[in-house]
A and B are shown apart, each in its own frame.
Chain A
């Protein structure tokens, strides 16, 4: 047993005076009132019966005094903070990394893993010696510094208390980089030789986690000494919903089906009960037999359902609750309206009429002469078309819609291009842009192209060795994309020729689908897709309004301003459930946030983690930091005080 002195010498001196004062007061207090009696004979005999032995008798006579001294003694002992050293804190700088990802909400440790982690950290904080400093970082897929380095325990405990569970997945890397900031100061390479920019401050990193995260690659601990404290049970039963979506039946397009996938991460087979709700009304229920570590699917036939919010719930969810519910949104089927103006383009026409494309879009294919009609003017003016594709033709002015120009430039001075260049070599494709996702142009050749001058704010999507070939640029609420190379061209003799072999490649229909999806606002998050918690959602407005409101599942309304010309970014997707997108004079749209993360749902704790090349073994047993005795002592003191009060009032004995 060890003690920690909590008082300064003068405080001890003050404490030492109290017993003396008690003794003094006791004797003052014990001035008994004299009373003359005929004889004390019987009284002595009465007292003698109570005083069997003299030591006990003396003790009894002064029992109140003894109790009071005992009380002070216990208090003084409590001030010494006696306890048994458990896990000792080593070093004088500590970084507590606390996992607050979804799996830390598991209840296999009472009350939750996160609470257990916080309790352990608070024990360590209380054990810190004077002068020790610590920092608290909580991490899920992002790291958050809850308390910077300080030696103020109260600040640390407050920072610790502020940590809330999240529904996100776990990534340790960022947290470690935050932790490493001071321990491994960066190297500056401005001079001839590397110089250290600051003194390294070694620190001990305590990682409180269930270890359900991918090993951290490419990170060097340097001056950090890691200690991994695994939290949770080795075997924690859990059944997770890892996928939930709806689809139209292949054979009957008006019939809807809901698909769900459940994973049993426990070690026992489970017959999982699932219930399907539509707008909070029970629709159907089923049971899925899941072997240990196995996954299984369940299908519900929904019939003709046009709209609604589907919720799937499993009542045998196990220790982790956040993956026991999943939502998906059924929106009325919408098709993007696309106007394709071309003198003739078999390849694009074919691509626009694939089954997938027809599902997503309704394409009107017209001759360039249509541009002169009133119908064209009227329809574009009212925003009927989400996208207008101009192939080998050019309108007099740009319509209030997204546009894709193929082989020509938009009217006006915004877009300019150089003279045609033969045999451009494609050297880069901006695959990060939604338009170019999954597109590989390595095997595509163009006969000739013009080189685009990308207007300001625009992005080049395909770069050739001579310059940009394909670019996109915002125009108010709309975007214009321009492919400077033709697909079909007309040569000097008026003969049609194929300028590229792209239509023969798989990437071409994919590009067309991307274009329909991107410009037609089809297949984004708002169309029933689900988002993982913490992910940023890019929302598009159907109108040119400058703001958009998102209502979270808990009813909080978040107003979003237009971030770029065409999208609104919403990153507050921490809650699970259905979010509403509210726009004036527009139907409410919805999207769902679901965990759907099998590794996060697999909540059995791991005993070691890999950080860079270092394998950090979990602390085998947690000694509960320090077994503090002072609470028990204070309770004891309280009991002594109560006994003293009782005896004083009842005068059971002398």
Chain B
């Protein structure tokens, strides 16, 4: 939060960003998501 009470802008230096889009194809992303959903990680 900033000092005037408004939520701060996200810090871009860490975490997911545009680079991550190249990691999985759309079908691979579906495959990983299905595996994780099957394991209960994502709902």
Whether chains A and B associate is no
B positions within 8 Å CB-CB of A: none
